[in-house]
């Protein structure tokens, strides 16, 4: 480990889910602290969420674990009030602008979605009044077929999908993919379970630089058992290229 560097930063309270910072926002912030000019793009980012922080001052510490020619690896930790909140490992490198894929699995094409304009933008407040502040920053437009939960009619299929972009209209960067890979509502909503789904671990692979335009996103789960579920989220850019793969382990509670 070559010397640690610490910074006092400010967690933006508007990037929230309820009254807590959004997990993808934290991931982008911590990964951004680990990249450098020669290795500007996160390739693999693994976060273990230890304790939820709040908006306001926090300490970010970066330790470079290895500097290679092709990739670098770093350890980043977020502390607040002397409590370790999030620990992240970041392997970063440089993606080519738009390489021709060497091979793409037959089943990995993006999902078909209704047109962007036909998917209403998700509001930054839930029907039950809970504020979802990060949706002021992220323009999320769910496929109405998977948005039934919002009106009490979940499909039961255990899938959510839709369009994602930046609300300010700027192009999505490689670092932004870390936010968007954790932006769709929990798959549990589509199963009629509306409780919190706290993430314990989240790993995102950034597979390429997104072309301009909104991204297509789909999130699924394989198994809910023993209080734990996986969520798998894939992101495709406007040209149909797979640009991010995310998987998380999260807790769930059964509806009472």
Give the binding site for its own copies (CB under 8 A).
1, 43-44, 46, 48, 50-51, 65-66, 70-71, 73, 75, 84, 87, 89, 91, 95-96, 99-105, 108, 158, 191, 200-201, 203, 205, 207-208, 220-226, 228, 230, 234, 242, 245, 247, 249, 251-252, 254
Closer residue to its own copies, CB minimum distance, 158 or 185: 158
Residue 231 zone, left/alpha/beta (φ > 0; ψ -120 to 50; rest): beta
DSSP state at residue 121: B
Residue 168 beta carbon to its own copies: minimum distance, rounded to whole angstroms: 28
Residue 232 beta carbon to its own copies: minimum distance, rounded to whole angstroms: 8
Closer residue to its own copies, CB minimum distance, 14 or 52: 52
* Residue located via tokens 């406007």: 238
CA distances to 5, 77, 137, 249 from 59, rounded to whole Å, are 10, 8, 23, 25
Closer residue to its own copies, CB minimum distance, 100 or 168: 100
Closer residue to its own copies, CB minimum distance, 78 or 138: 78
- Note the Cα 166 to chain centre separation in Å: 13
Residue 179 beta carbon to its own copies: minimum distance, rounded to whole angstroms: 19
- Note the Cα 188 to chain centre separation in Å: 16
Query: Which pairing describes strands 16-17 and 215-220: parallel, antiparallel, or unpaired?
Result: unpaired
Query: Which pairing describes strands 56-67 and 2-11: parallel, antiparallel, or unpaired?
Result: antiparallel
Residue 68 beta carbon to its own copies: minimum distance, rounded to whole angstroms: 8
Closer residue to its own copies, CB minimum distance, 51 or 125: 51
Residue 167 beta carbon to its own copies: minimum distance, rounded to whole angstroms: 28
Residue 72 near residue 93 (C-beta atoms within 8 A): yes
């Amino acid at each position: 480990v070559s010397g640690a560097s610490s910074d006092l930063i400010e967690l933006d309270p508007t990037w929230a889910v309820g009254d807590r910072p959004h997990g993808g926002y934290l991931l982008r912030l911590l990964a951004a602290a680990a990249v450098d000019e020669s290795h500007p793009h996160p390739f693999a980012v693994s976060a273990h969420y230890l304790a939820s922080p709040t908006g306001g001052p926090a300490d970010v510490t970066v330790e470079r674990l290895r500097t290679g020619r092709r990739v670098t690896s770093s350890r980043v930790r977020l502390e607040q009030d002397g409590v370790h909140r999030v620990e992240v490992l970041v392997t970063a490198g440089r993606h080519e602008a738009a390489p021709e894929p060497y091979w793409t699995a037959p089943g990995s094409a993006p999902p078909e979605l209704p047109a962007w304009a036909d998917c209403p933008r998700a509001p930054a407040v839930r029907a039950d009044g809970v504020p979802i502040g990060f949706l002021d920053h992220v323009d999320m437009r769910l496929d109405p077929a998977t948005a039934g939960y919002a009106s009490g009619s979940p499909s039961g299929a255990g899938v959510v999908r839709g369009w994602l972009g930046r609300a300010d209209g700027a192009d999505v960067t490689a670092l932004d993919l870390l936010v968007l890979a954790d932006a769709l509502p929990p798959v549990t909503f589509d199963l009629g379970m509306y409780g919190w789904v706290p993430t314990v671990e989240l790993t995102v692979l950034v597979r390429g630089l997104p072309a301009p335009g909104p991204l297509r996103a789909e999130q699924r789960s394989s198994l809910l058992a023993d209080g734990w579920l996986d969520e798998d989220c894939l992101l495709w850019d406007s040209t149909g290229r797979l640009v991010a793969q995310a998987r998380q382990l999260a807790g769930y509670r059964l509806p009472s």
